[in-house]
Structure 1
Amino acid sequence: MTAPTGPVAVAPAPPAPHPGTGRADDASVPRSGRHPHLRAVAVSLACSVLGPLVFLVLVGAALEEGGEPQQPGPWVALLLLDAAVGVTAAALAGLFRTSRVASVALVVAGTLSTWAAPAGVVGLVRVGARRSGALDALVVAVVVAGGLGVSRLHGLVGPPAPDPLPWWAEVLALAAVAGLLLLWGRVRGTRTALVSSLREQAVAAERERAALAHGREADIARTRAEERSAIARDMHDTLSHQLSLIALHAGALASRDDLPPERAREAARTVRDAAADANAVLREVLTALRSTDPEQRLGHHGGAEPLPTSRSVDALAAQALEQGQQVEVGWRGLSAVDLDRRSPATAVSVAQMTAELLVNAHKHAPGAPVAVLLAHEGDDLVLRVSNPLVPTPGPALGTGLGLVGVGERARLLGGVARYGAVDGRFEVQVVLPWQA
């Protein structure tokens, strides 16, 4: 016998976090953070600062190594066009972060303009983040072709290069640079997609946990309602028995005027005792909710079997023995007869709870000996059921609500139920008020 798979009372689940607003199609695109506008301004500002520096460094190096340009007019016009493209690309680099066309346009601008080289780097990283092999191949071809074309154009109108690289070396260098930047973007895109996937899984898991918690609460509420109904039915049958005794003996007293005084007093005492028992049962039945289902009025859980009593505990032990479970029943400070006389309603509940606990023990610790003790301790009636903790190969089948029902029945009778591991044994202790 082990504790149920969940706690007896389940706290309301916290609200699920709001899922990401990004579309699934954009999962590979790096998130812009909490301040997308500030990020866009920062990217554009960085490209606007780095672009002129790259432009001045490359132009200065060309003038220092090659001297005067071969065609000053066209070369100056080419530099002005380079600067114009660079300024435009730098200003737009922070915008259209999720646009595939805008990213490719930045790559083209960075290939044709040295001023726009930082913006081209941004475009290559964004293209790589999309993790598209065809798009990556297209971009590499654009970079190689554009880079060779611009290099040859500068070689015709600009300062001559003293040691120009062979065309194949330029192709390899341009392809290597573009490939590295695309790979960097692919790594970023993979990481972003992974984080997005984990976030969505966490949201789904939280929603599932909340749904399970609500389902668990519904199961517990249903089990408690069933226990209230079962107590009401049991008490109804007990009360009907007591009222039948009162009616029988009262009828005898009313119809017989030749009874000896001793017999009359005995009948009167019987009526008095039955009325006291019925009064006690009535107090208990008023604490439970009576089910309106006609099929449940026949007996416990809808059956027509006789109402159990405290004497049924020994019968339950014998039945468990037939199923391979050794059950030892002990009585301390009272007997089955005493319990039935003192509170028939409580005796019925004790028998019902004992049956449930024996079933729980057989389910979670099959074959292990079970000790059942009923004791009268002060003003309390104590039911204690325990068995050794037995490791099981897997979780036992069941709803895990058996102990919840026992606890609810004990609570409705004004008592309390506790369960847990004690010195290597699993123990359930039910304490009920000793009612006359």
Structure 2
Amino acid sequence: MPDRFEAWLPPRRRGLLVVCALAVLCPLFFLTPRGLSSDAGRLVLAGLAVVQAGGIWWMGSRPAVVTAVVLCAGAGIQLLYPAIGPGVALVVVSTFAWLRPARASVWILAVVIALSGAIALVTGRWSDALLWLAATLLAWTWGALGRARSARRQAEAARAILEERARIARELHDVLAHTVSVMVVQASAADDVFDVSPDRARQAIRDLEGSGRQALAELRRFLRTVRTLDEAGPFDAEAAGEPQPVLADLPALARPLAAAGLEVVIRQEGLDDVTLAPGVERSAYRIVQESLTNVVRHARARTARVNIGVADGELTVEIHDDGKGGGRFADLGGGHGIAGMRERAALLGGSVEAGPAPAGGFRVCARLPLEEPA
């Protein structure tokens, strides 16, 4: 899997690294350099220190070049002061491994091996060279692991954003699709009887106006909820205090459909003895709403029966119409309605089956747990 994580070193962190590098290098000015007089050694050390500390400032824009320069300057400092070890180079190696993918940063280990070997050859401190190699490998590993953790957090955040977008899209679809579908049917009914029965046409237009106002109210409420929770966290209309639909609201949901020519028969059994979790009841309502929306849009049905009950510790929701279900096969493959119902059920640990009924028409059957999963 390709590494798509984009690491960035902010100026504040770069400044902190520069200060730390200077703090590590300052004590060396009080030590005696190897092979040079004190004054000459301090002059060379000052130049190498400026190269190391100054180079770190450009670590964010040119990490490979800066890392190579800092390592070479560090090798020069080690030649002057063999006992001090890599020092600042370890921080730079770890930072470089965090800024670049492992495949792009592993070459730095070969550079460190070459420089350590050259320093050990000159100074004769082979045991120290092995210790420094181990420390460098540990620093590189630490940076690579830090990059992996950061990439995982970024991927989780991106996945959470995509899931939230899908959830908002599903809620918006549920809020508007039903009402707009009813509006289309009411407008068609008004057009059919406009010449032969003006009174019925006027009533259909009044119903259409009422449905339009309802759709606008639902959309405003939805947008207000999203704006309210935009800073607070994930979208949750219930947490924002918005009234949520329950199964007792199904008759009100079915009433406009009767005016549009679809008789909806609702039957609920066994619900008085159980307590449904709010999320389960809301999902059951939305599944019924989406199923009836599909009936209005595709089935050309006259009757739809909604049976809701409790069996084997599950809430069962069945919607069966007497229409021609062939128009809904497209939704089974690439639409959003049935896919959204299945997503809702799956989030609760339930399932949805949808397809033509053996006796004719179309049947949707959902099974939901009585309690929301933890």
TM-score by length of 1: 0.43
- Structure possessing the higher relative contact order (Cα contacts under 8 Å, 6 or more residues apart): 1
Which has the larger Rg? 1
TM-score by length of 2: 0.49
